[in-house]
Chains A and B, each alone.
Chain A
Amino acid sequence: MLNPSDESNLERMPRPARKLSNFIAQELLYDYMRGALSADRQTAMKESLQSSPDLQYELRSMSDAEKYAQELSKTKISPIYLEELSQIRPGTEVFLDKLRWKNWPDFMRWATEALLISIVVAVAAMFVPWASFNFEFPKSTSNVMLAEIKEAPSGQDASPTPSVTVPPEDSTSTTPVAVSASAPVTASVAATAPEPTPVSARTEPMEDEAVTEPESELKAAQTIASGTSTAEAKKVATPKGLLYRVMMSIESDDEITQSIRDKIVELGGEKAGQVELGWKKKNPDGSYYHFTLPENNYQELITTLGVYGPVRIYKNPHDRVMPEGQIRIILWVEEKSQDEQGQ
């Protein structure tokens, strides 16, 4: 406060002692108890307390209340109950805990492990390059029908000139080559000629299979001809050799058998199995020819055979590789029964 009497020499006048009202003193009592007031207010509160018994009573009761509260704060929770409380978990946490691997039931863990192992093995089996290991797998039965030659209907043309669709020289080509077109042709290329299969497990000499091949392999060829898929054929990996299977179903007699045999010999064919060319077999009845032939005479042979009836040709991948310019053929001429002829 300034001294108004002497304006040239302004001095701060001492402030008169602050007097707190009873209401303010009541409100500041807690802060006074805590010692949180400024020095001025602290002094003023002391003066108010000295002059007011009510304030003194209030202060004493607050102090007692604080001590009482501090006494209550010593209350404890028993350790057992505290342990129980610490185990309380929300439903989500319980659920997540049950999802943990260690909490799974044994059978679920085993089943999962088995499933994972199966998947790993399956994936490994799919991606391992098995061909590079050169395992000897069972002989492949994937046959490919290159062409089917049917005889012309008897009413249309009496001449024996057949219509033959044969594969070109290159056995891997997929385009049949028409030799003659005078008769109707039913050529069905079942699949692209596959690369020959890898060497199969069987390696016995050629002669050993001569007798057994007609029955088993002819049946296999007939079965496969109807159902062999392109996909299977494409699975064949490494080219080796080819076995030509030629099948006919005609009304055959000894004369035809002899003429076919003569034609084969004339074209340079040589017996390849143990049985002679034109070996007669029973049930099913037919003639069996297993022979080698110069490759350049192959088409002429097929053309000749087409004279007698429809010719079905299959090229089977085989583990036996023929010399250059030579091919191996198994010709099966099945005799038509009287019933079939009637139909």
Chain B
Amino acid sequence: MLQPELIEKIALFFYFSFLDETKANSATAHTIKSIRQQYVAQKKDDKKLTPAEFVAATENYMRKLSRGTKATSLAFSAGPIQLPPHSNWGPWFEFRKVASEKDFRALLYSKVLNISEEDIAEGLGLPIGTVRYRVGRGLKTLGRICHMGGVDAES
């Protein structure tokens, strides 16, 4: 059985990536099945799923989709996902559209899902400097969007 926190992270990753509940649910279920299938085949305990493996699994799923992953509208219901109070999804939605896939995912893993940059680098198979660079660039893009829209993160 996967750890609940990793299951939650998988679901959140797809929610923040697709910004569409239906697509996110489907992708989450598919990814969880895929991870467990691998663990059954390898006779491993899926309780030991590492953050790096989580990054690799989600990245693998997104790579297979290759296109059509960018959100065109927000499609959430009040059911599965519990948004923080007074949350403003506008900048994130804009960021999803503007930012490159690499920067977007690097920022999502690092700052939203709180996975360490070392684990991200291991999961993506990249040097840690590359990951930091992508995170920095993503932050700049998101920051500009926040400032243009007058978003105050602390409000």
Contact = CB atoms under 8 A, between A and B. Distances in A.
A76 B5 CA distance: 10
A86 B2 contact: yes
Given A72-B87, A78-B79, A85 B111 contact: no
B147 interface: yes
Contact of A30 (B135, B142, B146, B151): B135
A65 B148 CA distance: 12
Interface in A65-96: 65-78, 80-82, 85-86, 88-93, 96
Contacts of A69: 107, 111-112, 139, 142
Interface string B70-87: 000000000111111001
B48 interface: no
B111 A70 contact: yes
A78 to B, nearest CB: 5
B57 interface: no
Contact of A68 (B40, B83, B146): B146
A72 B151 contact: no
Contacts, number: 132
A332 B15 CA distance: 103
Interface residues of B, number: 50
A293 B33 CA distance: 91
A85 B11 CA distance: 9
B7 interface: yes
Given A58-B140, A78-B79, A82-B7, A72 B152 contact: no
A interface, how many residues as a size bin?
35 or more
A74 B33 CA distance: 26
B147 A61 contact: yes
A88 B84 contact: no
Interface in B1-54: 1-2, 4, 7-8, 10-12, 15-16, 28-29, 32-34, 36-37, 40-41
A68 B135 CA distance: 14
B153 interface: yes
A66 B4 CA distance: 25
B92 interface: yes
Contacts of A80: 80
A58 B143 contact: yes
B112 A73 contact: yes
A322 interface: no
Nearest to B7: A85
B66 interface: no
A88 B30 CA distance: 9
A64 interface: yes
Main secondary structure on B side of the interface with A: helix
Contacts of B7: 77, 82, 85-86
B113 A73 contact: yes
B142 A68 contact: yes
Given A65-B142, A85-B11, A31 B132 contact: yes
A30 B82 contact: no
Contacts of A63: 143
A270 B7 CA distance: 101
Interface string A304-318: 000000000000000
Contacts of B152: 64
B150 to A, nearest CB: 11
Q: Which 3 A-B pairs have the closest CB atoms?
A: A30-B136, A61-B143, A67-B153
Interface of A: 27, 29-31, 57-58, 60-78, 80-82, 85-86, 88-93, 96
26 contacts: A30-B139, A58-B140, A60-B143, A61-B143, A64-B153, A66-B111, A68-B91, A68-B92, A68-B146, A68-B151, A69-B111, A71-B84, A71-B87, A76-B81, A77-B82, A81-B11, A82-B4, A82-B8, A82-B11, A85-B10, A85-B28, A86-B2, A88-B33, A90-B34, A90-B36, A91-B37
Interface of B: 1-2, 4, 7-8, 10-12, 15-16, 28-29, 32-34, 36-37, 40-41, 79-84, 87, 91-92, 107, 111-114, 132-133, 135-136, 139-147, 151-154
